[in-house]
Structure 1
Amino acid sequence: MYYGSRAIILKSLDYQDADKLVTIFSEREGKIRAVAKGVKKPKSSLRAVLQPFTHSFLYLSRGRDLDLITQGRLLDFYPRIREDLGSTLYTAYIMELLDKSLVERAPLGPLYNETLQVLNYINDKGAKSLVIRYFEIRLIQELGYRPVLEACAACGQKNLTTRFNLAEGGVLCHDCAGFLKTDFMLSGEAFSLLKFLQRADWKSLDRIKASSEALSSLEQLLEKYLEYHLESRFSLKNTIYQLKKSLPGAFDKG
């Protein structure tokens, strides 16, 4: 069976001879793995089409285990992302997030569109910390792990603290905080920022003002939350942390 779909290239690995095994997030099929034959040859028409975090339209043949990419055309290469170290690494991190969180053959149209939005934003305006956090929250919600912030995640009471419990999936009330583990303590600003980002849209992001402390706190919480629920660690986050220390100017987009 042959089919076509818009697709975001998550990663590609050497496979056999001149072939590559490509993991893509397709609009029609969700995450799939497919073989691109001869793509490592210099004259292959698929070389540019299958670069990581490109947006392409692909034609594929469905296989039992792996699909086969037969043709493709480039829709967007996001050149400004590739010219900036911070933008490149944060975009690669987003691709890693998607690869490790999505199950195969499960279409997620809204998340696909959100991913295109974040790629366009980073290409146009740079990889702002707030935008990466916003995308993480969108991903968490699409996967069904939306944090509980309006009532106690354990008992439903409203007398809330800003103590976050990973297993319960949200903040705790004063009573439950007395006997349940506090995995993360949010500041008042970070808690308000998290609540706002849960209901925000792309148009509102440029109007948000947040301190570096609140953004850092939210980043740490979301990292722990994703690792807990996805049962996976993200190698690029450690790379980003290390480079932030040695090359802070590459990551000061806000």
Structure 2
Amino acid sequence: MPGLFQAEGIVLKGRDYQETARLLTILTRSHGKIEAIVKGVRKPHSSLRSGTQQLCRSRFLFYAGKNLATVTQCEVQEIFAPLRQDLKRMARAYYLVEIADNVVMPGQVNQAMYLLLQQGLENLGELEPDLVCRAFEARTLKILGLEPCLDACAACQGTLAGCGRVAIAPAAGGALCPNCQGHQGREFLLSRGSLKTWQQLSRLHWQYLKRLQVSSPLMRELGEVMPAFLEYYLDRRLRSRAFINELGGDAIDRPGKN
């Protein structure tokens, strides 16, 4: 029903709309993901310009029309300034936003995903960027109820025998014992250290992640398999990974063990 309502939200993306307007996708804490028009925002002196930029967290006043909402007022809460001064961090911010945009459906209220995005963007300005991305991926899978089984075989629930590298498959939902390998589609090999780090990334409070020391080899392993898991369950490629790769970040499209 048409009417005014308020909501705090983060601008995920926007595009020019008509002559001076923009059409925004905003993830709100209380009303889910909203498509909203901001009229006149492309005029030089628009009061709405600062609070409707991409990656800006604002408090919005919306008018709910029949088809689209309209932003009538906004008050900036946070612009995540450290990200805007560092291209590497900005690229990772786009990645987090793309994940959130694909996870939350229009109109679906998902406060856990909203808070995760807010926390991810805040910590991206302070912590190692790729560590934040891995933690964000792990926590997104947890929110979706798709946290992988890493303590036992996801296929037969047997023990992960031996002390070497462990096969892990998105289609199986986690790690595989030697007997179950080779039957679950694309597989990756991870060290035991990577498995332990994945679990820590999923469970540790953000403030403790500052103390987490992850070696470059482990980070490379996780940077290959964790996005693959997320893309498998989202059933789509995350395009911002290509931009990260262009900047010398995560390597993409490296073949898994088949």
Please report the TM-score for the alignment, with normalisation by the length of structure 1.
Answer: 0.90
Question: Unaligned 5+ residue runs, structure 1?
Answer: 246-254
Instruction: Decide whether aligned partners of structure 1 residues 34 and 93 sit closer, same or farther in structure 2, where only a CA change above 3 A counts.
Output: same
What is the CA-CA distance between 1:169 and the residue it aligns to? 1.2
Map of 1:207 onto structure 2: 211
Q: Which residue does 1:69 correspond to in 2?
A: 71
Aligned to 1:242: 246
**Equivalent residue number for residue 167 of structure 1:** 171
Q: In the alignment, which residue of structure 2 is the partner of 1:46? A: 48
Hey, what's the Cα distance between the residues in 1 that align with 2:21 and 2:128?
Answer: 32
What's the % identity of the aligned pairs? 32
What does residue 83 of structure 2 align with?
81
Matched, 1:184 2:185: no
Q: Alpha carbons of 1:65 and 1:154: their partners in 2 closer, same or farther (altered >3 Å)?
A: farther
Choose from 19, 33, 36 the match for 1:17.
19
Please say if residues 160 and 166 of structure 2, whose CA atoms lie closer than 8 Å, have aligned partners that are also in contact.
no
What's the TM-score, normalizing by structure 2? Answer: 0.89
Shift of 1:150: 2.3
**Paired residues of 2:152 and 2:159 also in contact (CA < 8 A):** yes
> In structure 2, what is the Cα distance between the partners aligned to 1:221 and 1:73?
39
Relative distance call for 1:42 and 1:114 in structure 2 (3 A) is: same
Match of 2:253 in 1: none
Q: In the alignment, does 2:146 pair up with 1:145?
A: yes
Q: CA RMSD in A?
A: 1.7
Q: Look up the SS of the partner of 1:44 in the other structure.
A: coil
* Amino acid of the structure 1 residue aligned with 2:179: D
Answer yes or no: is 1:119 the counterpart of 2:121. yes
Q: Note closer, same or farther for the CA distance 1:45–1:214 as it changes in structure 2 (3 Å cut).
A: same
Between the aligned partners of 1:24 and 1:98, the Cα distance in structure 2 is 11
Which structure 2 segments of 5+ residues have no match? 250-258
The equivalent residue for 1:248 is: none
What aligned pairs does 1:211-222 form with structure 2 within 5 A after superposition?
211-222=215-226
Distance 1:84 1:178, change over 3 A: closer
Residue of structure 1 in register with 2:136 after alignment: 135
User: CA offsets per residue over residues 128-165 of structure 1, 9 Å max, x none?
Assistant: 21111101111121122211112221122223572111
C-alpha separation between the residues in 2 aligned to 1:157 and 1:17?
Answer: 62
- Equivalent residue of 1:49, what SS? helix
Render the CA deviation track for 1:213-243: whole Å, top value 9, x for unaligned.
Answer: 1111101111111111111112221111121
Q: Distance in 2 between matches of 1:134 and 1:170?
A: 17
Q: How many residue pairs were aligned?
A: 244
Which structure shows the higher helix fraction? 1
Check the 8 A contact 2:96/2:120 in 1, yes or no: no
Give the 3 Å change call, closer, same or farther, for CA 126–174 of structure 1 in structure 2.
closer
The residue type equivalent to 2:145 in the other structure is G
Aligned with 1:216: secondary structure?
Answer: helix
| Structure 2 SS opposite 1:130 | helix
